Amino acid sequence: MIVAKRKPFEEIKELVSGSKKLLILGCGTCVAVCLAGGEKEVAILASQLKMALTLENQDVEVDELTIERQCDREFIEEANTRVNVDDYDIILSTACGAGVQLVSDVFDHKVVLPALNTTFIGVAEGPGIWTERCRSCGDCVLAETGGICPVTMCAKGLLNGPCGGARYGKCEIDPEKDCAWTLIYNRLKKLGRLDRMEQILPPKRYSVQQYPAKTIHEAYRRRYE
Compute the distance between CA of residue 122 and CA of residue 195 in angstroms, rounded to an integer: 29
CA-wise closest residue to 115 among 168, 172, 70: 70
Would you say 102 and 71 are in contact if contact means Cβ atoms under 8 Å apart? yes
Residues facing 22 on adjacent strands: 62, 90
Nearest CA among 87, 80, 98, 88 for reference residue 27: 98
CA dihedral 57, 6, 30, 38 (to 10 degrees): -30
The pLDDT of residue 24: 98
Tell me, what's the pLDDT at 184? 96
Please tell me whether the peptide bond between 8 and the residue prior to it is cis, using omega within 30 degrees of 0.
no
Tell me the CATH architecture of domain 2-120: 3-Layer(aba) Sandwich (3.40)
* CA 116 – CA 5 distance, rounded (Å): 5
Domain ranges of the chain: 2-120, 135-208
Per-residue model confidence (pLDDT) at position 114: 97
Instruction: Note the pTM of the prediction, 2 decimals.
Output: 0.87
CA dihedral 55, 63, 45, 10 (to 10 degrees): -50
Low-confidence ranges of the chain (pLDDT < 50): none
User: What span, in angstroms and rounded, lies between the C-alpha atoms of 117 and 214?
Assistant: 23
Contact 3, 132 (CB under 8 A): yes
> Which residues is 115 bridged to in the sheet?
none
SS (H, E, C) 97-164: HHHHHHHHHHCCCCEEEECEEEEEEEEEEECCEEEEEECCCCCCCCCCCCCCCHHHHCCCCCCCCCCC
Burial class (CB in 10 A: 0-12, 13-18, 19+), 128: exposed
CB 131 within 8 A of CB 150: no
